[in-house]
Structure formats: structure tokens, C-alpha cells
Amino acid sequence: MNIDLLYNNLTNPTLLFFILGVVATLLKSDLEVPSNTSKFLSIYLLFSIGFRGGQELSHGGNMADIFSTLFLALLFSVLTPIVAFFLLKKRFGIYNAAAVAATYGSVSAVTFITASGFLESEGAHYGGHMVAAMALMEAPAIMIGLFLVRRFAEDDVAHPKHSLWYVAREALTNGSVLMVLGSLIIGMLTSSKQAAGIKPFTSDIFQGFLAVFLLDMGMVAAQRFKTFRHYGRTATLFALLLPMLNGLICILITGLMSMNPADRLMLTVLAASASYIAVPAAMRFTIPQADPGLYIPMALGVTFPFNITIGIPLYWSIIQYTG
């Protein structure tokens, strides 16, 4: 691993604000980001990523590369929850295993956004279709999680409204997914001249807003991490090892595909991330027997901090070394 790259990432101001958020929580400080502000920042970041991705797509690209990338993204979102479920069902039980499986089969938009900022600081550019890959990976894992519960649970707990169609519709109309897809389409329809008019908002202030958002994420992550210590080392090791394994497999496969290094990193980050927004919201209604004190802290308290501090520069170093 490139030590200089790791040092540069650890001293990146956006990441340092994340660490400040963790420290503030550990010190029991009254520092906080108002919930309305946090929600606005989330919407803004998704809007910016989606719009810029749409602009990139509007410039064209190799359709074979685009479809192969989207297929690989979909494959990860289908296989990951199945593997995770069978690894965990004896240890955590059917309901918890299904919820964790769905969490790790889906993706973290914030990790994707952080990786985008990282590549921006490195002067590397990824294709707009990676935004579409992120949106594509949200829904399948949620549907598979529900299917696994229905297949293996002894009692039928699913309410009729929680059909696979219902789950798919809820996943696709989730605010994060809708914002990204809507912005992506608008970006595709907007000319370069029109896009230049809002560039100060879509690009110039991106890093600053990301820093404040990660400050809030640091505080939330530290709070969540405390809540699942009683689950022991299994949860922590799984939250570290499965994403890393996914990331390394993705690097290997994309290397064989001769994919652009920046695209490889973004797909790797998606494969190695876990959802702590869309999936938990869906799990509350579809699998209420699952313990949110397990699957949310695993994703937000372990996987997310690891990915944005060590994972992203580690994967980038491997990609650069093997490229």
C-alpha cells in the first residue's frame, strides 16, 4: 500500500471533519448538526453527484463498457446478500441474518460520494454510468432479504402489503434513489452551456458541504458503534472482512475487463460498502423482527469508517499498482 497516499487521505480536511465528529461524541460534546441541515446536505450531495454523472453520460461512452459495468454491479447486489445470509443465519438467526444480508448487498451513497471527492483530489475522473450503477444496486438486496425470510422463516410474518412488488416500489421511490436518478436524467438533458450556469453550486462548494456532512456522520457513527458491542467479535469481523473481500474480488474482475482506474475504484467502493439509510428504512417495515441495533451499527459504525479512512486509499493503491 502507498503510505503517502494513505497519509494524504487521512489528512484530507473532509475526513478530518469526520474524525472531529467521532471525537466530539466520545468527549460528550454538545456539538451537533441540526437534523434539517443534515438532510439538506444529503440531498445536495446526491443532487450534485447525480447531475454531474448525467453530464458525463450526455457526452457519450462505450456502450459495451457501460452495460458490462451495470451487469457486474447488479451481480454483486444479488450474490452478496445470498452469501452473507448463509454465513450468518446460524449465528444471528433468520431475521437478523436477512437484514444484515440486505444491508451488505445494498450500497452506501455517502461512501460513494466520499470516494468521488477522493478522486477529485487525485485529479481522476469516473464515468457518469457509475452513478446509475449505484442506483441500480439499491433495490435488489432489499428484495432478496425479504425473499430469504419468506423462504426460511418458520412462521409467515409478512403482511400482504409487503409483497416483492411493494418492496421494489418502496426501494425505487426511496428519496436517495429518486434524487440520484432524477438528477442523473436532468444532467443528461442539460446542455454544457446550461450546466455552466449552476457549476458554482454543483461543483465548487461540493468539498465544503461534504466536510460538514461527514462531521455529522462522524457523530452518528460513534453513537451507533456503542450500541452493538454485546454482539461480540463476529459482527465486527464480518463488517470488516466481507466488504474487503468484495472489494478485492471487484478489483480483480475489473482488472480483467481493462476498465478505467477511476471507474474501477467507484465500482469497488460500491461492492465494498453497506447501506445504513435505504435498507434500514425498508427493514423496519418488511422485517420488524430484525434488530436495528445490529445491522445499522455494523454498516455505520464499522464498515463506513473503515472504508473512508483506509478502504478507499487501499483500493486505489491496489488499482494503481495492478493497473
Least confident of 65-74, 100-109, 141-150, 284-293: 284-293
Query: What span, in angstroms and rounded, lies between the C-alpha atoms of 5 and 143?
Result: 38
Whether 310 is covered by a domain: the verdict is yes
DSSP states of 59-84? T---HHHHHHHHHHHHHHHHHHHHHH
What residues contact residue 198 under an 8 Å CB cut-off, 6+ apart?
Answer: none
SS3 per residue for 240-257: HHHHHHHHHHHHHHHHHC
State which residues form the domain around 200.
Answer: 3-15+33-322
Q: Would you say 98 and 235 are in contact if contact means Cβ atoms under 8 Å apart?
A: no
Whether 20 is covered by a domain: the verdict is no
Amino acid 160: pLDDT = 44
Whether 147 is covered by a domain: the verdict is yes
Whether 285 is covered by a domain: the verdict is yes
User: Sign of the C-alpha dihedral, residues 170, 211, 244, 50?
Assistant: positive
Whether 28 is covered by a domain: the verdict is no
Whether 25 is covered by a domain: the verdict is no
Percent of the chain surpassing pLDDT 90 = 28
Indicate if the pLDDT at residue 319 is higher than 80. Answer: yes
Give residue 120's pLDDT band: very low, low, confident or very high (50, 70, 90).
confident
Indicate if the pLDDT at residue 46 is higher than 50. Answer: yes
Q: What is the tally of structural domains in the chain?
A: 1
Give residue 220's pLDDT band: very low, low, confident or very high (50, 70, 90).
confident
Amino acid 71: pLDDT = 93
Q: Span 42-60, mean pLDDT?
A: 80
Q: Span 164-190, mean pLDDT?
A: 75
Q: Span 173-182, mean pLDDT?
A: 74
Q: Which of 6-15, 21-30, 80-89 has the highest mean pLDDT?
A: 80-89
CATH of the domain at 137: 1.20.1530.20
Whether 26 is covered by a domain: the verdict is no
Whether 22 is covered by a domain: the verdict is no
